[in-house]
């Protein structure tokens, strides 16, 4: 992703931060009011999870990584792309008063909203830091668990992100990450539509490539914990494709999927293929 595209994503998610979940649910990019729903067609229901706070839920996820993250009391958890704090507050309920949760986001507006939510909840063991996921503002070996919900898709260098995840995890630590992947190839014009990129669709990479990047970073026990097909509604397709292209897409073999993936950092680390100088970053 170019710097300009990164700034586009930052601006759109900053605008989304100022809207309610209901407002985001009625717009295709959460900011333009175009009447479709790219952002929220992938979201799962958090409302039954302990620690859920409606003010922190903007409906932008594509899974429930905290439900699969094997969180335990006392864990230190890092949430990549923490938004308004939804996953952080659910994680806090699991790790308890002896645990710690650190949310990382690069949108100042999102961070302001997350910090305000934390203050209202008196969540003193939850903090939010500004940072780029390709260069995390964290020391090495700090986290027991890393989580993320439909965010890494937006980052250009996924090798670098998973290298950073590997770096900040303690030996034996693990991640549970929900993201969007593809099987088959999207119509080329979708790659040029900023709203779809910020909605985590046109930025998706092939599922097997995604899993290969994780393995190349040095993780063991890589497992897809959950996967579901994302069905793009006809009105969204019609907003970006001609009628003939809609038919071609609907009858084609392309699958957009949400996957929740688990991986563990080995207890003994000798080297990582994606460590600095490893050649894949």
- Between CA 88 and CA 16, with CA 131 as vertex, the angle to 5 degrees is 65
Query: Band of the pLDDT at 26, cuts 50, 70, 90?
Result: very low
Structure tokens at 85: 């704090």
pLDDT at 274: 47
pLDDT at 241: 84
pLDDT, one tens digit per residue, over 134-191 is 999 999 999 999 999 999 988 888 999 999 999 999 999 999 999 999 988 877 777 6
* Average pLDDT of span 6-17: 60
- Whether residue 270 lies inside any domain: the answer is no
Total structural domains in the chain? Answer: 1
**Local structure of 222: helix, strand or coil:** strand
- Whether residue 131 lies inside any domain: the answer is yes
- CA-to-CA distance for 47 and 128, rounded, in angstroms? 22
- Whether residue 73 lies inside any domain: the answer is yes
- Whether residue 255 lies inside any domain: the answer is yes
Contacts for 94-98 with beta carbons within 8 Å, 24 or more apart? 94/50, 94/51, 94/66, 94/69, 95/71, 95/125, 97/125, 98/73, 98/74
pLDDT at 163: 98
- CA-to-CA distance for 47 and 68, rounded, in angstroms? 16
- Whether residue 155 lies inside any domain: the answer is yes
Structural domain harbouring 64: 3-264
**Strand 76-80, strand 220-229: pairing:** unpaired
- CA-to-CA distance for 68 and 91, rounded, in angstroms? 11
- CA-to-CA distance for 60 and 42, rounded, in angstroms? 8
| Burial class for 31, CB neighbours closer than 10 Å (0-12, 13-18, 19+) | buried
pLDDT, the chain, mean: 83
pLDDT, one tens digit per residue, over 97-117 is 999 999 999 889 999 999 999
- Whether residue 271 lies inside any domain: the answer is no
pLDDT at 29: 35
pLDDT, one tens digit per residue, over 60-79 is 788 999 999 999 999 999 99
Name the maximum alpha-carbon separation found in the chain.
Answer: 57
Q: Are 274 and 281 in contact (CB under 8 A)?
A: yes
Q: Are 62 and 133 in contact (CB under 8 A)?
A: no
Percent of the chain clearing pLDDT 70 (strictly above): 77
The answer, yes or no, to whether residue 83 has pLDDT greater than 50, is yes
- Whether residue 280 lies inside any domain: the answer is no
- Whether residue 32 lies inside any domain: the answer is yes
pLDDT at 1: 42
- CA-to-CA distance for 156 and 153, rounded, in angstroms? 8
Q: Are 150 and 179 in contact (CB under 8 A)?
A: yes
- Between CA 125 and CA 135, with CA 129 as vertex, the angle to 5 degrees is 130
- Higher-scoring residue by pLDDT: 92, 199: 92
Q: Give the domain CATH number at 17.
A: 3.40.50.150
**Tokens 């669709």, located at residue:** 201
pLDDT, one tens digit per residue, over 226-236 is 999 888 878 87
The answer, yes or no, to whether residue 32 has pLDDT greater than 90, is no
Structure tokens at 271: 């080297």
- Between CA 209 and CA 217, with CA 213 as vertex, the angle to 5 degrees is 170
């Amino acid at each position: 992703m170019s710097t300009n595209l990164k700034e586009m994503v930052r601006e759109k998610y900053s605008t989304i931060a100022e809207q309610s979940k209901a407002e985001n649910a009625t717009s295709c990019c959460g900011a333009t009011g175009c009447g479709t729903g790219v952002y929220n067609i992938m979201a799962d229901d958090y409302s039954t999870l302990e620690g859920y706070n409606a003010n922190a839920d903007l409906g932008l996820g594509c899974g429930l990584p905290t439900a699969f993250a094997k969180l335990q009391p006392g864990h230190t958890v890092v949430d990549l792309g923490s938004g308004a704090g939804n996953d952080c507050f659910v994680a806090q309920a699991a790790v308890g008063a002896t645990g710690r949760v650190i949310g990382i986001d690069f949108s100042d507006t999102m961070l302001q909203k997350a910090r305000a939510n934390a203050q209202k909840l008196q969540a003193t063991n939850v903090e939010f830091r500004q940072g780029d996921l390709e260069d995390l503002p964290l020391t090495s070996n700090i986290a027991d668990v890393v989580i993320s919900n439909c965010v890494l898709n937006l980052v250009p260098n996924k090798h670098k992100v998973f290298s950073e995840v590997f770096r900040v995890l303690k030996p034996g630590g693990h991640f549970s990450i929900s993201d969007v992947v593809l099987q088959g190839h999207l119509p080329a014009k979708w790659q040029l539509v900023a709203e779809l990129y910020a909605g985590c669709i046109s930025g998706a990479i092939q599922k097997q490539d995604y899993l290969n990047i994780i393995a190349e970073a040095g993780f063991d026990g890589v497992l897809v914990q959950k996967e579901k097909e994302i069905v793009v509604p006809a009105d969204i397709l019609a907003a970006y494709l001609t009628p003939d292209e809609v038919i071609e897409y609907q009858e084609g073999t392309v699958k957009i999927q949400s996957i929740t993936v688990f991986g563990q950092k080995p207890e003994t680390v000798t080297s990582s293929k994606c460590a600095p100088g490893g050649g894949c970053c």
